[in-house]
Amino acid sequence: MSPPALSVVIPAYNEEARLGPTLARVTAWLDARGGTWEVIVADDGSKDRTREIATADPRVRLVALPQNRGKGAAVRAGMVAATGDRVLFSDADLSTPIEELDKLAAELDRGADIAIGSRALASSDIKVRQHPMREMMGRTFNRIVRLLVLGGIKDTQCGFKLFTRAAAHELFGKATVDGFAFDVEVLWLAKDRYRIAEVPVVWRHVEESKVSPGIDAARMFADIVKLRLRHRRRG
């Protein structure tokens, strides 16, 4: 059987409240869009009914980690398992609507290997903003990333990124960061080998974020410092 044209990977951790509606919306839109596709829920050791909900639709494939390891680990497992010619990962809250996929796909049609949704470009459309403190922390993190690791990308953390299958399998096969800074590592690994397009998207803040402003921010910063040290050793 030929591989599907598209894989959609949705990382999930204790997402029983919103995963069902998310999967219904994603699969309905993919059906209407046409083409062959697969949806993979990458479960990060959930303790609620996330896995049960994920497998209620036989068209959805579950990739399950035996215990909670972090969003990066879940996304990595899903991306490596994906078989589509193109592989999207999308946050379970659909803060960037699935309908924005066509904007990213257009960049791959034009020759990019990776297209990343961005909230930081002039034409990005922010429908609902985060709390000012969280927004300030996000801008500070992005400045640190641009200074230390990725100078040319304005928003590394938007949870909506499309890869060719070759790029997805190579990059996530090499990635090691289990936490929320996994995006930075993957883009850092990609920057000298693949063409990356940053694409303005619609985005809205959704409550119940899994990011802890204190603990996770400190871990993300530590991961960035480790990446920078690794970059110096390679340079």
Domains and CATH numbers, the chain: 6-234 (3.90.550.10)
Q: Tokens 């938007």 map to which residue?
A: 158
pTM of the model: 0.88
- Chain segment 52-110, per-residue pLDDT in tens: 999 999 999 999 999 999 999 999 999 999 999 999 999 999 999 999 999 999 999 99
User: Rounded CA gap, 129 and 229, in Å?
Assistant: 34
Alpha helices (H) along 68-211? 71-81, 101-109, 132-148, 165-174, 182-190
Task: Give the range among 13-17, 18-22, 64-68, 204-208 with minimum mean pLDDT.
Answer: 204-208
